[in-house]
Amino acid sequence: MLEARNLRKEFGELRATDDVSLAFGETPGEMVFIVGPNGAGKTTLVNLLTGLFEPDRGSVVVHTEENGTTVEEDITGMAPEDRVEAGLVRSFQIVHVFEEMTVRENVRTAALSRYDKTLSMRTLDDGHAEVEGDVDDLLARFRLEDIADEVAETLPHGDRKLLDVAMAFALDPRYLLLDEPTSGVATREKEYVIETIVEASDAEEVTTVTIEHDMDLVKNYADRLVVLHEGRVFREGDPDLLENDPELRQVLLGVDE
């Protein structure tokens, strides 16, 4: 379980995250969606959880089951690259891929890191069978096989988004934080992107925390819903909240759509 405890983050006068306490993955493999109007602190929360920012207050804690007992690890000050090892992986709202590498090389670079092979001096095509196996699986799962040898910067936006997410999956995450995986993706392809993510995370029992603006997607795919508003947790619970909570509808629809 990944837990945020009383997280607070200020940028000058702006309190982007204000006393946020949340837990993800109490049911392993659950799919949580974070929604909220622009400026609600969604991305800041993900940045705090994954270590891009340090919180001003509060802590980030990972609970791990070991031989039947739960071990608690405070990862608040931990560097992002070390959090990856703790199973905490993210994707980005603005695509971050290695632009001059092909799709395959992008996924492979992430997979090499997963197997702690980035310091290896053995030539790439020599004895990294488990890595190549993973890469092939992921390319198939994200339907990127046909464009595996295309250079990332030449791809259309939707494919770049998928690649960004596929790289996150290559790291064998336990908690996957996806910052608007469907932003900028054509409406008819959004479902396809989310569907792919759901399939992949179900297969590996990955707890996913997804920031999403499309309420239809949220209704269809969320196990649980977190609504942020002005840096605070405004609502938390079943996705049905969206249907029958007038105040919530006001917050979400009044500003955002």
Under the rule (CB under 8 A), what is the footprint of other proteins?
50, 52, 79-82, 84-85, 89-90, 92, 96-101, 105, 108-110, 112-114, 117-125, 128, 167, 170-171
Q: Smallest distance, Å, CB 142 to other proteins?
A: 16
Q: Smallest distance, Å, CB 57 to other proteins?
A: 24
Query: CA-CA distance, 24 to 211, in Å (whole number)?
Result: 13
Q: Smallest distance, Å, CB 74 to other proteins?
A: 19
CB nearer other proteins, residue 79 or residue 257: 79
CB nearer other proteins, residue 122 or residue 188: 122
- SS3 assignment, position 99: coil
Query: CA-CA distance, 118 to 160, in Å (whole number)?
Result: 23
CB nearer other proteins, residue 35 or residue 171: 171
Q: Label residue 63 exposed, middle or buried (CB < 10 Å: 0-12, 13-18, 19+).
A: middle
CB nearer other proteins, residue 200 or residue 248: 200
Helix 157-169 × helix 129-141 angle, to 10°? 140
Query: CA-CA distance, 202 to 208, in Å (whole number)?
Result: 10
Would you mind telling me the total number of residues written for the chain in this entry?
A: 257
Q: Smallest distance, Å, CB 121 to other proteins?
A: 5
